[in-house]
Amino acid sequence: MRGDVASAREVVVGLDIGGTKVHGVLLVDGAVVAEDRFAVRHGADGVVATATLAVDALAGRLAALVPGAEVGAVGVGVPGLVLPGAGTVAHAVNLGIVEPEPLGARLAGALGVPVTVENDLNVAALGAAHVLGLEGDLAFLALGTGVAAGLLLDGRLRRGHRGAAGEVGHVPYAADGPRCACGQVGCLELYASGSAIDAAWPSPDGVPAPAHLFRAAAAGDVDAVRVRDRFADAVATAVQTLTLTVDVEHVVLGGGVSEVGEPLLVAVRRALGRREAASSFLATLGLADRVRLAPPGARVAPVGAALAALVGRDAGRGPGHAAGPLPARPTTATVA
Ligand SMILES: [Zn+2]
């Protein structure tokens, strides 16, 4: 399809490509008008084929919604390192992409519209700011298989010198802890991730382990209370680390564990409250009040991908309805 940039309606597709599925949204003038999920095929060819299929499917629904409109840009969030150049993705192990792959260029060639590729946590930070209507510096803290944050500072994504900004999951947390896959000992993500809950509180009945744990704790199970509070304390450390390094106004809890909802927020705020009670310094910072939940439905990442596409397409102009302009940084690669 050939996008019509002169179209009065701004139509953009956002894709959040995960290890098992693609979550795609169709945005018209900044509002989600359609969404769908697609199974992911692995490897570079599989990811290109999956993304093309997803864009075609969403574009196909556009005709009935906004006759005559065409998709003008596509944004893609991927769990991996996005390198300078043509939207090149590397180390996306969950997608079966290890060697650098020019995903953005290949997709742009297949789709005939500008394609912007960005790290999945970065697009989630953009999406969270937009969906929750938040201004000010923001960290999107994903509590999933691992723990890491996307950072939106002064309206711009902060990726860092080597793309490691926000990698709080590998901050040392327990000097006597087990070895982490990264090679260090006692990393924070061994305590603050969904994987940590799976290990400490295996679900007996198919209910996600975090939901099972928080329900058992609410029912007064003393072991569950202990595991929950230890988990919440580790998440509090991630929040405190982010706040004391870049002083973000908002820390949005996302990732699979955030589906627990309000009980997670309460537990993390309580853990931060204990720290504030013990430290007048922390109390003045109001850490607990900065934490909030990602909206349910995990839509923030594909919405953020769509917003990144607008910024990438209009590089330098800013998206208008996003949290603010992204810089023309080399890791947001837009190719036509
Ligand atoms: Zn580690």
| β-bridge partners, 82 | 89
C-alpha 185 to ligand 1 mean position (Å): 7
C-alpha 79 to ligand 1 mean position (Å): 17
C-alpha 40 to ligand 1 mean position (Å): 27
Output the pLDDT for position 61.
92
C-alpha 167 to ligand 1 mean position (Å): 9
Q: Specify the long-range contacts of residues 194-197, CB closer than 8 Å, at least 24 apart.
A: 194/143, 194/144, 194/145, 194/255, 194/256, 194/257, 195/145, 195/146, 196/231, 196/234, 197/227, 197/231, 197/257
Give pLDDT tens digits along the chain (336 positions).
444 433 468 899 999 999 889 999 999 998 999 999 999 999 999 999 999 999 999 999 998 898 889 999 999 999 888 875 578 888 788 888 888 889 999 999 999 999 999 999 999 999 999 999 999 999 999 999 999 999 999 999 998 888 889 999 999 999 999 999 999 999 999 999 999 999 999 999 889 999 999 999 999 999 999 999 999 999 999 999 999 999 999 999 999 999 999 999 999 999 999 999 999 999 999 999 999 999 887 689 999 999 999 887 776 333 332 333 343 333 344 444
C-alpha 144 to ligand 1 mean position (Å): 14
C-alpha 169 to ligand 1 mean position (Å): 7
Output the pLDDT for position 312.
77
C-alpha 180 to ligand 1 mean position (Å): 5
C-alpha 36 to ligand 1 mean position (Å): 34
C-alpha 189 to ligand 1 mean position (Å): 7
Q: How many CB atoms lie within 10 A of CB 151?
A: 23
C-alpha 170 to ligand 1 mean position (Å): 4
C-alpha 327 to ligand 1 mean position (Å): 29
**What sign does the dihedral 121-124-128-130 (CA atoms) show?**
positive
C-alpha 330 to ligand 1 mean position (Å): 27
Output the pLDDT for position 311.
81
C-alpha 175 to ligand 1 mean position (Å): 12
Structure tokens belonging to residue 48? 């290109």
SS (H, E, C) the chain: CCCCCCCCCCEEEEEEECCCEEEEEEEECCEEEEEEEEECCCHHHHHHHHHHHHHHHHHHHHHHHCCCCCCCEEEEEECCEEECCCCEEECEHHHCECCCEEHHHHHHHHHCCCEEEEEHHHHHHHHHHHHHCCCCCEEEEEECCCEEEEEEECCEECCCCCCCCCCHHHCECCCCCCECCCCCECECHHHHCHHHHHHHCCCCCCCCHHHHHHHHHHCCCHHHHHHHHHHHHHHHHHHHHHHHHHCCCEEEEECHHHHHCHHHHHHHHHHHHHHHHHCHHHHHHCHHHHEEECCCCCCHHHHHHHHHHHHHHCCCCCCCCCCCCCCCCCCCEEEC
Output the pLDDT for position 85.
57
| β-bridge partners, 333 | 117
Q: Are 186 and 177 in contact (CB under 8 A)?
A: yes
C-alpha 174 to ligand 1 mean position (Å): 11
Output the pLDDT for position 336.
41
C-alpha 209 to ligand 1 mean position (Å): 22
C-alpha 244 to ligand 1 mean position (Å): 20
Output the pLDDT for position 51.
96
Give residue-wise pLDDT tens across range 203-231: 998 899 999 999 999 999 999 999 999 99
Domains of the chain, start order: 11-124+298-335 (3.30.420.40), 133-293 (3.30.420.40)
| Cβ within 8 Å of residue 280, ≥6 positions away | none
Residue for token pair 């946590």: 121
